[in-house]
Structure 1
C-alpha cells in the first residue's frame, strides 16, 4: 500500500521533470536555429563573440569555408575569385550551380588570354634579341673595317733594273765614254775577223 502511494506521489514529479527537460530541449533547439548564420557576415559576428582567440580564429575559418559570397552595399552578394583577381555578382551567400559554371567559363577564357599574352611577350623578347644580335654583328663589321683601313699599305719598291734601263734609254750617250764607244769597236772587230778568216771552199761537183 505504501509503495503504491509513493509511486503515485512520484509520478507527478517525474512528469514535471520530463516536461521541463522537453521544454528546455525545445528552447535550446529554437535558440540554436535562431542563431544559425545565414551568410558570412552573420557568421563572422557570432565568431567575434568567441571566448578565446583560438576559438575565434577557428570560427572565422569555418565561416569562410561555409560562405563564399560577401554582402553588397546595395543588396545581393559578390564572389571574389582570387585566381582571376576579379569579383562576380551572385544572388545568395554562395554561388548557384549556374553561377559557378559562368565563373569557371570566365576562368577558362582568362587562362587563354594569359597564354596569348605570354606568347606575345615571348615573341617580342625574341625579336629584340635578334635585333640586338644583328646590331652587334654590324658593329663588329664596322670595327673590323676601320681597323683594316688604319693599317698602312706597304709602298712598292722601284725596280732598279727597269729604272736603270729606262735611264739608259732616255739619257744621251756621252762621246768618248766606254759605254758609247764599245758598240762601234765591237762592230769593227767583227769586220776584221771576217777579213782574216778563210772562206770555206765549196765541194766540187761530180761529173
Structure 2
C-alpha cells in the first residue's frame, strides 16, 4: 500500500519534470509533432512565419534544396531547368528518376543543337569575311586600273619628213639641220684633206 501511495504522490512530479524538459527543447526540435511540408509552397509558407529575417532566408534556402518543382495552377507541378531555360511538367514536387532521365536527355539534345548553331554561325561569319576580303580586293584592283588610266602616257612625237623642195619654216630644227650637216662636212674636208692617190706607173 505504501508503495502505491508513494508512486501516486511521485506521478505529478514526474509529469511536471517531463513538461519542463519538453519546454526547454529548442523550437526547431519541437516540430516533431507537426506534419512535414509536402511541397515547396507549404515549406515557403512555414518559412514566412520565421522569427527573424536570417531564419526566414535560411528556411527558404532549405525549401529550395528539398523541392525542385513548383505547383501549377491547374494541378501538378512544373520543374524549371535553368541550364536549358525551359520548364518540364512533373507529377510530384520533385522529378521522379524517369522524369529526371527525360530532362537529362533533353539537355543533351539542347547541347547538340547549341553546338550545331555555333558551328553554323562560325561558318556564316567565315563566309562573310571571305566575301568582304574579295570585295576589298576587287575595289583595290578597280582603283589601281582607274589610277593607271588617269596617268597621261607620253605620246611619241611624229617624225616630220621634209620632202625636197617643200617650204621650210625658218629656225626649225628640221630645216636647219641639213644645212648644218652640210657645213660640218665642208669643214671636215678643209681640215682633213683627202690624200691624193699616187699615179700608176705604166
TM-score by length of 1: 0.70
CA RMSD of aligned residues (A): 3.1
1:15 aligns with 2:23: no
- Aligned-residue offset at 1:158: 3.5
Farther-moved stretch of structure 1 (12-21 vs 87-96):
12-21
- Aligned-residue offset at 1:12: 1.7
Deviation digits for residues 46-75 of structure 1 (CA, Å, limit 9, x no counterpart): 000001111000000000000000011111
* Structure 2: 5+ residue stretches without partners: 168-178, 180-197
* Structure 1: 5+ residue stretches without partners: 173-178, 180-196, 202-207
In the TM superposition, what are the counterparts of 1:38-187 in structure 2 within 5 Å?
38-159=38-159, 163-164=161-162, 167-168=163-164, 171=166
TM-score by length of 2: 0.71
Structure 2 distance, partners of 1:49, 1:142, is 79
In structure 2, do the counterparts of structure 1 residues 118 and 54 end up closer, same or farther at CA, with 3 Å as the change threshold? same
In terms of Rg, which structure is larger? Answer: 1
Structure 1 distance, partners of 2:75, 2:13, is 47
Deviation digits for residues 126-183 of structure 1 (CA, Å, limit 9, x no counterpart): 10010000000000111110010000111212446xx24xx23x749xxxxxx9xxxx
Equivalent residue pairs, number: 166
Q: Which has the higher helix share?
A: 1
